[in-house]
Amino acid sequence: MKKAFTLIEMLVVIGILGILMSILVMHVTGGSESARAVKCLTNMGNLARAVQQYGSTHGVYPLAGSVERLGFDESQGINNAHEKYSELVGWISWNSAGQYRSGPQSHIANYGWFTSAYDEDTTAREYCLTNGALWKCMTGSATCYTCPEHLIKMDKAHIKPGWSYVMNGYFGYDESRGASARSWSYGGLEYNTLARADRRLLFAELQWESYVGSSPSFAPSAGFENDCTLQYKDRDGGEMIGVNHKSGRDKVAHVAFADGHTDKIVMPKKGLSTGELKELTKWLCTGVDVAFDGKRYREMK
């Protein structure tokens, strides 16, 4: 008689193969996520180093967003000088390609100053990068402006952002320092003047999820009018750092600080409420010393 596998033996073999395939898929997926996370931190490190290069060259930090500056046009002689608005370029420029560079009119008043990573016009998004203050310091590479994990998530929603990182509004939009989107004269924060640069957040990620508690939901910031700037002030709705990555079983946010180092902000197992995440973002943006005991973040006084 010919020997053959019984039905039970076949089912056992198929079950074992299924388990092995699951382990392999999990390993490959986890490896891919880890590789994307490493790339994200590398991007942030490159951006932070570009800021250091810009600061050492120009003596000031680049602005977190372009500022409209009012000056005078004396091209027709001092007796015929007239007021003229111009863009003081931020780390990413306004999406003003073909619409506005400088001129006597107010750019902001004409509603042409908005900057959006999700602008439908790809030319406008490209102009935002190439006319931004950091473009030359980034050696003309657009790949470092977007996190690969972010691109995958956005692709599922058929959205392709021009960038996925935001710069701390302290470097250009903090009204306590006399800065706003429209300014008579504003030249940026003097370089190397921060007492605790290792505590002052420089870059974070845009959110692709609204991370509340342990149940995140898809909510891209496509509606933000100026999503190159992390506007942490309550008057701006209190924007939050993007918690977009996994590290083992933890949800983490990737950030870079003004001294150039990058880090991971680990979320508690129970998650964070919107208010708690906004508060943590504000602490990081303002350079507060923060402690984490594994369950909650608190301000060190």
237-287 per-position pLDDT tens digit: 678 898 888 888 888 999 999 999 999 999 998 888 888 898 999 999 999
Q: How many CA atoms lie within 13 A of 110 on its CB side?
A: 15
Sign for the CA dihedral angle at 26, 28, 33, 34 comes to: positive
Tell me the per-residue pLDDT of 83-92, one tens digit each, with 9 for 90 and over. 677 778 889 9
**For the segment 86-117, what is each residue's pLDDT rounded down to a tens digit?**
778 889 988 765 444 455 555 555 555 567 78
- What's the predicted TM-score (pTM) here? 0.79
